[in-house]
Amino acid sequence: MKKLKTYFLLTLLVAQLGMMNTTTLASEIDSSQSYEQATKNQDALDLIDSIGERARALGQENNLYASVMIAQAILESGNGQSDLAKSPNFNLFGTKGSYEQLSVTYYASDVSGKLKQTEFRKYPSHQAAMEDYVTILKNGTAENKNLFKGAHKKEAKSYEEATKALTSTYSTDENYDQKLNSIIESYNLTRFDEVEVKVEEVKEVAPQEEEKEESPVVETNEFVLPVEGYSISSPFGHRGEEHHDGIDLAIAENSPVKAAKNGVVVGTGFDESAGNYVIIQHEDHLFTNYFHLNGIETQVGDTVKAGQLIGLVGSTGHSTGSHLHFGVSTEEWQGYLDPTNYLNF
């Protein structure tokens, strides 16, 4: 019975995550396997697609290596598949404590290897987790504000020096840097350390013609399509004995979801049926609803413009396949209207 209990706790630990200042998930992999063989899979590629560009921007803004940030997210979250990393916790980096008074408890091993219940931060989105990670690396801890200074670009002249600096500071695993380096090399993550050159930054401007900077948002107060390249998998209206309160737009997972109209975000979170959701209120007192998201890229109180990124397509909640459930309503969670009356799908 004692052996069974010990096995259960160890299995629970491995299934959950790798965590800051604890043995990481990667250390549970059979030593006869290369780390690349053990982890290079579609889940990791999907996670890179989801957070790569945001990591690039955060790295450039904060003098950090985006490649290291992404590699740590892959390692600490088990390719984004740990319970802690997924909705509704969104903790990609195994960060302990609480975030805006939100936390979740899991079993974790301490420095001595003993299992104990540990509090981890709970985030509203992966983006919030990434921004908090940057704050931690920049500010260190209350006891040592320079704890992660060696991982900054000013101190580390290469990503290898940055991962070396994180070994014994971010994790007690003495092979932490080797595992991160292997991930970076396997997935060519150094491409995210490079400054992305945009077309408008190098195009020629005709004489006496002002250069027009393209904007990711639409300067209009009319409705715009929330996704592009979709197919309608379920229309609004009665579906057998039930009523479908929106229109389902089938599209690849992690495709960008954009605000359909200027407004203010009044709801985000996770619902058992809707999955990860965003609700926006508009000046005409209508609401637009975005359900089954993989990730939420905004928060309550944000003012958004038509065409602005607010989330990523997913299949969370009660969903059969990757799609965006888009709805228009007169109130939050009720008073649903046919979206085709407002948009030409």
Residue 92's domain is classified under what CATH number?
Answer: 1.10.530.10
Structural domain of 267: 231-341
Domain end residue (candidates: 167, 193, 219): 193
Please check whether residue 215 lies inside any domain of the structure.
no
Computed over every residue of the chain, the mean pLDDT equals 81
Residue 162 has pLDDT above 70, yes or no: yes
Find the mean pLDDT for residues 48-69: 91
Q: What does the pLDDT read at residue 206?
A: 40
Please check whether residue 204 lies inside any domain of the structure.
no
- pLDDT confidence tier of residue 30, bands split at 50, 70 and 90: very low
Residue 24 has pLDDT above 60, yes or no: no
**Is residue 20 domain-shared with residue 110, that is, in the same domain?**
yes
Helix (H) or strand (E) holding 110: none
**Is residue 104 domain-shared with residue 180, that is, in the same domain?**
yes
**Is residue 43 domain-shared with residue 181, that is, in the same domain?**
yes
Please check whether residue 220 lies inside any domain of the structure.
no
Find the mean pLDDT for residues 68-79: 91
Reported pTM = 0.51
Q: Which residue has the higher pLDDT, 41 or 247?
A: 247
**Is residue 177 domain-shared with residue 79, that is, in the same domain?**
yes
SS3 state of residue 212 = coil
Residue 175 has pLDDT above 60, yes or no: yes
Residue 341 has pLDDT above 60, yes or no: yes
Helix (H) or strand (E) holding 98: none
Integer Cα distance of 5 and 286 in angstroms: 54
**Is residue 189 domain-shared with residue 256, that is, in the same domain?**
no
**Is residue 277 domain-shared with residue 183, that is, in the same domain?**
no
**Is residue 70 domain-shared with residue 19, that is, in the same domain?**
yes
**Is residue 165 domain-shared with residue 237, that is, in the same domain?**
no
**Is residue 150 domain-shared with residue 272, that is, in the same domain?**
no
**Is residue 164 domain-shared with residue 18, that is, in the same domain?**
yes
Residue 35 has pLDDT above 50, yes or no: no
**Is residue 108 domain-shared with residue 255, that is, in the same domain?**
no
Please check whether residue 303 lies inside any domain of the structure.
yes
Q: What does the pLDDT read at residue 15?
A: 37
Residue 26 has pLDDT above 50, yes or no: no
Residue 13 has pLDDT above 90, yes or no: no
Please check whether residue 91 lies inside any domain of the structure.
yes
**Is residue 179 domain-shared with residue 238, that is, in the same domain?**
no
Residue 294 has pLDDT above 80, yes or no: yes
Integer Cα distance of 334 and 340 in angstroms: 17
Please check whether residue 218 lies inside any domain of the structure.
no
Contact yes or no for 6/109 (Cβ under 8 A): no
Structure tokens at 108: 């974790």
- pLDDT confidence tier of residue 157, bands split at 50, 70 and 90: very high
Integer Cα distance of 62 and 126 in angstroms: 18
- pLDDT confidence tier of residue 112, bands split at 50, 70 and 90: low
Q: What does the pLDDT read at residue 102?
A: 92
Per-residue pLDDT tens over the stretch 124-153: 999 899 999 999 999 988 889 999 999 999
Find the mean pLDDT for residues 178-184: 92
Q: Which residue has the higher pLDDT, 260 or 212?
A: 260
Please check whether residue 219 lies inside any domain of the structure.
no
What is the tally of structural domains in the chain? 2
Domain end residue (candidates: 136, 167, 193): 193
Look up the CATH number of the domain holding residue 279.
2.70.70.10
